[in-house]
Structure 1
Amino acid sequence: MSKFLFSLFICFTFSLAAYSFQDSTSVQYDDAPLYVKKITKEDLQKYKEDSKYDYTLEKADNSWWENLKTWAYSYLLRFFQWIFGGTKAVGFLAAFLQFIPYILLAFLIFILIMLFLKTNMRGINLAKKNLSNVTLSEEEHIIKNEDIQQLIKNALEDKNYRLAVRYYYLYILKIMSEKELIDWQLQKTNDDYQKELSQSKYATPFVTITRLYDYIWYGDFTIDESKYNKAAEEFIKLQNSITKS
């Protein structure tokens, strides 16, 4: 009985193994009839009008910068092709050509800035020159034609002590010129007069009043009567020394 059962088990096992080794790649064919769906013109028009199915690529208009780069690059490319006989640029030359538009733009901006600064500086210098000419012409008129002592008196009456200091300084220049201690000229500066007096006894007092004049007049320094009197002492001492010589 046991042998029979064992034999039956062996047969069943081999039958399963044989079934498992059957060809698993067999193809099953579908014999169902095919149905062809027709697409009408109306169907196509519907898809054409649907924006979801619009795959047209719109080319954006180039900016002025893109047009400038294209223009510059094309002309430079022609130039280098003319030099190298139509050889295509590679390596460093190709990279250099790509940066040429940026270099040209930077150079153009630099030129415009320089022209702008030069124009402004010319205008500023012209304004300064005109102002200087007006001031010097006024000083020349005062020294040659005006009664400076009366101008000093009028300024003191108006309590315009700063203007009085200016007139007093011009008066010192006038009497020095009359005494031929200096050669007064319209284009000369106070430093020029200091050099002319450097070997005389008036050098130190003239430097003193020049500093006072520059500080009060050009420094736009407001002074009262007491401060004016202290400054006037230096002018009076130099005036007396000149007139007594």
Structure 2
Amino acid sequence: MKILISLLLLINFNLALAQQDTIVQSGANTEMKRKAEETATVSPHDKIRYDTTNNLTPVEFKEHRIEEHKQDKDFNYLEEKQQKTWWQEFKEWINQKYQQFLRWLFGDYDAGSIFGFIIKLVPYILLIGVICLIIWLFTRMNPGKNILQQPQTAKVHLDDEEEIIQNADIPSLINTAIENGQYRMAVRYYYLQALKELDLKNFIEFEAQKTNNDYISEITNEQLNRLFRKGTRVYNFIWYGDFQVSKEDFLLAEKGFSELNSTIKNTKNE
């Protein structure tokens, strides 16, 4: 029984404390609200206070200064659209066609990828290649060489056969080769002698880069063509075939070349 009474008293005491706290809090809120209303309320008779210690003057804008600033280029932020030159339009057209070609060839590609980076390098690689080709052609042809150098009239570079035909005494070379038993060399001199005579009488036009067959095709006289063709076969067999010529073999070859040279001298070029 005593325990029950003690519990009831404890419950009533707690309720009383809670009620007291609620009353105190409510009063405090009411007081704060009242003070806030008093602070926010401005009386019609109150005046706005401002600083009267500084000597403030209004800013005046001068019309002539505004016009001066309008004429000043530093204050002109308008961008004039310049007309493109024909060279700029040509470059844009080339770039447009190049991009169309790439899209046709590779389709759409990511410009930021490695493949896109390589494609961007292609025009520069081609340009470098063209420049290198021009330099190579220039060094090969060397058009300014004859201008920069002094003319050389008495200096001509010839190969062995051309040197012999143009400058050597071929009959003396033939006799020297026969006396020394160099029959193979003598056959060569006989053939070069025939080429020289044919060139002098305009049956052929001697050039170092021509072949023996080229000379055969140039001779239109049938008899002369037949004899020269026969002599060419003998010469090719002995000289280019590295054939060791005996004295008897040389006498047979000499007879054919003597007939060829005699026919050249006695034939008129019509």
TM-score for the superposition, normalised by structure 1: 0.44
